[in-house]
Amino acid sequence: MKTPIAITGLGSISPLGTTLEEQWEAYQHKPTAIRWDEKMEAFTATLTEEGKAAVKDLKKENTAYLRLDPSVLYAIIAGRKAVAQAGWKDGDFGINVGSSRGATQLFEKYYEAFKKRNITPTLTSPSTTLGNISSWLAQDLKSTGPDISHSITCSTALHALLNGVAWLQAGMAEKFLVGGSEAALTPFTLAQMKAMKLTLTEDEASSLYPSQALNLFKKKNTMALGEGAAAACLELGKQKNALAYVTGVGYATEVIDHAVSLSTTGECFKDSMKMALGKTSASEIDAVVMHAPGTIKGDNSEMEAIKSIYGDDLPLLTTNKWKIGHTFGASGLLSLELAVQMLREQSFVGVSYLKEPTGPKKLNKIMINAVGFGGNAVSIIIDKA
């Protein structure tokens, strides 16, 4: 990268809490947030009670917010927190917050009404469009810069970060807010995951850890869905209030045999990690926050790619999917948030049911991976501020 990119603010709302302090504490001590949902008949990770209360309070601020999908509301909460931490006072910044599925809850609600009466409520559009997320976030934060939304399935949030880096490096913006938001805990979405046999029934799962993300010896897919949003404030060059620095970015798309497949050797991961490393030696990476969704093929293909890059001298490896579920388009930024916290606290957060990892006592560089349906991968390297 020509110039490091400073991360000056982070904000999120997730099954672990609504503040960085709450979430770090939960990573340290609390068990998984994944629970069996009797109504949905699936394992899910929902927002905390405080998180749900924050969403309700946000709706009370503006009558227009009552008609927005939760994916938009989650993004507003996360965006506000990130901007506040960064100390951005004006609205002269760009926004790119995406989502894998967008306004899922509203879409399903409006479509059910359409099937019954063959008409839709007036606000069905634009409230179910994907661009609704960043456009409402721009309205809430009074941003005058560009606002972009997109979906690149589960790597959406890290693709947003790529876009922010590109705008900053090109001199087209001085500040960029990037992130992802997902509120896809709906019957239709869960039915799709079940149809692909990615999830477990209640009697198939471990009572302590339903999602066995990064357990390479599991015999069944164990993906569980989560919800939440995360956002990061990016600024070009060195900044006094930097939390960490983005020093490498990589991306790749591989040719796939099936719409939801990934090669057994994780070719897109190999290429994205190589690009992110650039001239940096793989030995300089102290830890990798893996995508590791909890599926057999997903976890193993990423591990094969990591072994091809790092050889026998693997860095510390972790994932947060066993803790908060797979949050689809928001997952990459929630992984980035974990990585930044590990750098700042100088403490590695492992996976409870795996062997205690051994590795460097100091954390200076961490890589974050994400991949989505379609064979697209993103790798980001961040350095300690």
Q: What is the pLDDT of residues 263-305, one digit of tens each?
A: 888 999 999 999 999 999 999 999 999 999 999 999 999 999 9
Q: Enter the CATH code of domain 5-236.
A: 3.40.47.10
Choose the weakest-confidence range: 57-66, 322-331, 366-375.
Answer: 366-375
pTM of the model: 0.96
Is residue 259 very low, low, confident or very high in pLDDT (cuts 50, 70, 90)?
A: low
- The 3-class secondary structure across the chain, one letter per residue, is CCCCEEEEEEEEEECCECCHHHHHHHHHHCCCCCEEECCCCEEEECCCHHHHHHHHHHHHHCHHHHHCCHHHHHHHHHHHHHHHHHCCCCCCCEEEEECCCCCHHHHHHHHHHHHHHCCCCCCHHHHCCCCHHHHHHHHHHCCCCCEECCCECECHHHHHHHHHHHHHHCCCCCEEEEEEEECCCCHHHHHHHHHCCCCCCHHHCCCCCCCCCCCCCCCCCCCCEECEEEEEEEEECCCCCCCEEEEEEEEEECCCCCCCCCCCCCHHHHHHHHHHHCCCCHHHCCEEECCCCCCHHHHHHHHHHHHHHHCCCCCEEECCHHHHCECHHHHHHHHHHHHHHHHHHCCCCCCCCCCCCCCCCCCCEEEEEEEECCCEEEEEEEEEC
Report, as an integer, the average pLDDT of 62-70. Answer: 96
Q: Supply the pLDDT for residue 282.
A: 97
Q: Supply the pLDDT for residue 331.
A: 98
Asked whether the predicted pLDDT for residue 356 surpasses 60, the reply is: yes
All CATH 3.40.47.10 domain ranges of the chain, comma separated, are 5-236, 247-384
Looking up tokens 């976890």 gives 299
Q: Supply the pLDDT for residue 263.
A: 82
Q: Alpha-carbon distance 274 to 362, whole Å?
A: 23
Q: Supply the pLDDT for residue 207.
A: 84
Question: How many CA atoms lie within 13 Å of 379's alpha carbon, on the beta-carbon side?
Answer: 30
Report, as an integer, the average pLDDT of 226-253. Answer: 98
Q: Enter the CATH code of domain 247-384.
A: 3.40.47.10
Is residue 258 very low, low, confident or very high in pLDDT (cuts 50, 70, 90)?
A: low
Report, as an integer, the average pLDDT of 185-195. Answer: 95
Q: Alpha-carbon distance 65 to 67, whole Å?
A: 5
With a pLDDT cut of 70, the percent of the chain lying above it is: 98
Q: Supply the pLDDT for residue 91.
A: 86
Is residue 260 very low, low, confident or very high in pLDDT (cuts 50, 70, 90)?
A: low
What pLDDT, in 10s, does the model give residues 104-139? 999 999 999 999 999 998 889 999 998 999 999 999
Q: Supply the pLDDT for residue 16.
A: 98
In this structure, the number of other CB atoms found within 10 A of the CB of residue 365 comes to 22
Q: Supply the pLDDT for residue 361.
A: 76
Is residue 206 very low, low, confident or very high in pLDDT (cuts 50, 70, 90)?
A: confident
Asked whether the predicted pLDDT for residue 78 surpasses 70, the reply is: yes
